[in-house]
Amino acid sequence: MKFKIISLGCPKNLVESEYIAKRLEDKGHQLDEYYGTVIINTCAFIADAAKESIETILEEALDKKKVVVSGCLVERYKEKLKELLPEVDLFIGRNFYGNIEDLIESKGFFLKEGNFAETFPRKVLTGNTMAYLKIQEGCDNRCSYCTVPDIRGGLRSRSPEDIRKEFIWLLDGGFKEINIIGQDITSYGRREGFTLAKLLKHLLEVKGDYFIRLLYMHPKGISKGLIEVITSDDRIIRYMDIPIQHSEDNILASMGRGYDKTYLENLIGSIRRDMPEAVLRTTVIVGFPGETDEDFSHLCDFVKKWEFDMLGAFMYSKEEGTPAFKLKRQVKKSVKQSRYNEIMEIQKDISKKRLAVLQGKQVKVIVEGKGEVYMTGRLLIQAPDIDGIAFIKGDCKIGEIRDGKIVKTLDYDVIVEV
């Protein structure tokens, strides 16, 4: 069988797609652009993601290929999909990935059983320099707007030994940038008695020339001990991805985030003090039920004060089955759009200002592709897929991590000479 995989949504989904590809190739099937079967690994975190998933399925079905749908859309909507999407040949729940090579020869519908979805070994699809390493599954935080616990279940963490085994496997495969991911990696091992700090120490015992990035750290899970480990070894990239979601106490309480504005001020202040070179990335939600003009104005002031290097914003999405779905004082869509535009315009100026400070500085840059004029890639302090681009002047090859000098900065991107 020749197949193609379309992976939608987050890097966690991509890791699961890589596992699917490995399972199928081990059985003699072939990942090929001239495919007869398409596997669509879907996202359904919010309504827009579910809509994108359904549109992708319908578009692929037009080609009369065999269509297999897996991932979060299947977990969230289950039996409803059979009636909604008769074009699909097979729906596979996430925890049946280990049997996919057998299931794909049949036709049916499979629901989750609550087991930890396997993700290793896998066929890495992110090029020859960068790879993701998933350390945990599910989430126990239960934020009032979030569908993840219902889709992916409660927190389950892999053992440190299992993670280290995959970490070494990735390094042996030539991957130099390892991005550690999970729904909330700061909650890693909470049920089993592990901590993220201890896991990092365990991984750093592995000798070698590599870099580790930590993606998605819940503010209330960032301890002094974790910061000490991050600052103890230059192989951990000083990149703090900390979604705050909002700044105002009443909104944070309604969201169920488990911290207040004072906590955020103290946390960000301590990071700026202990890691002045650190890059700070965050996400915020605008238009949450009950958010007033004053609340939003204070959020904008907070963003201006702390000057995050990167910021992503989401307009609140009313998701059925979440506690926030029933909240009163829902914000009009036009107001949410206006607030989104305003805060992203504020951030554009901040990002441009923060990048401008780097002009003339020596940096490490990852070479990832070839553009019309320059090679393209990222600064090591830019995360894959979500941050800016580095346009690279000079003789270099795809896959290299090179030292270079920033010769020009733009709004979100940079030009680097190696």
Domain with CATH 3.80.30.20 in the chain: 130-356
Q: Are strands 90-92 and 37-42 parallel, antiparallel or unpaired?
A: unpaired
Q: Report pTM.
A: 0.91
Q: What is the DSSP letter of 174?
A: T
Which pLDDT belongs to residue 114? 42
Residue range(s) of every CATH 3.40.50.12160 domain in the chain: 2-110
Element of type H or E holding 369: strand 362-370
Alpha-carbon gap, residue 94 to 151, rounded angstroms: 10
Name the class of domain 2-110: alpha beta
Q: Which residues of 294-305 are buried (b: 16+ CB within 10 A; e: fewer)?
A: ebbebbbebbee
Q: Which residues contact 136 (CB under 8 A, 6 or more apart)?
A: 155, 156, 157, 158, 182, 183, 184, 185, 187, 188, 189
What whole-number distance in Å separates Cα of residue 386 and Cα of residue 366?
15
Q: Please, what is the Cα angle at 262 between 256 and 267, to 5 degrees?
A: 90
Per-residue pLDDT 10s for the chain (418 aa) are: 999 999 999 999 999 999 999 999 999 999 998 999 999 999 999 999 999 999 999 999 998 889 999 999 998 988 889 899 999 999 988 777 777 888 877 655 544 444 455 678 899 999 888 999 999 999 999 999 999 999 888 999 999 999 999 999 999 999 999 999 999 999 999 988 899 999 999 999 999 999 999 999 999 999 999 999 999 999 999 999 999 999 999 999 999 999 999 999 999 999 999 999 999 999 999 999 999 999 999 999 999 999 999 999 999 999 999 999 999 999 999 999 999 999 999 999 999 999 999 999 999 999 999 988 899 999 999 999 899 999 999 999 998 999 999 999 998 899 999 9
> How many residues would you count in the chain?
418
At 112 the pLDDT is: 43
Q: Where in the chain is the domain with CATH 2.40.50.140?
A: 362-417
Single-letter amino acid code for the residue at 293: D
Q: Give domain 362-417's CATH architecture.
A: Beta Barrel (2.40)
At residue 118, the pLDDT reads 64
What pLDDT does residue 79 have? Answer: 81
What fold is seen in the domain 130-356? pyruvate-formate lyase- activating enzyme (3.80.30)
Q: Measure Cα distances from 102 to 106, 199, 414 in Å.
A: 7, 35, 47
What pLDDT does 109 receive? 52
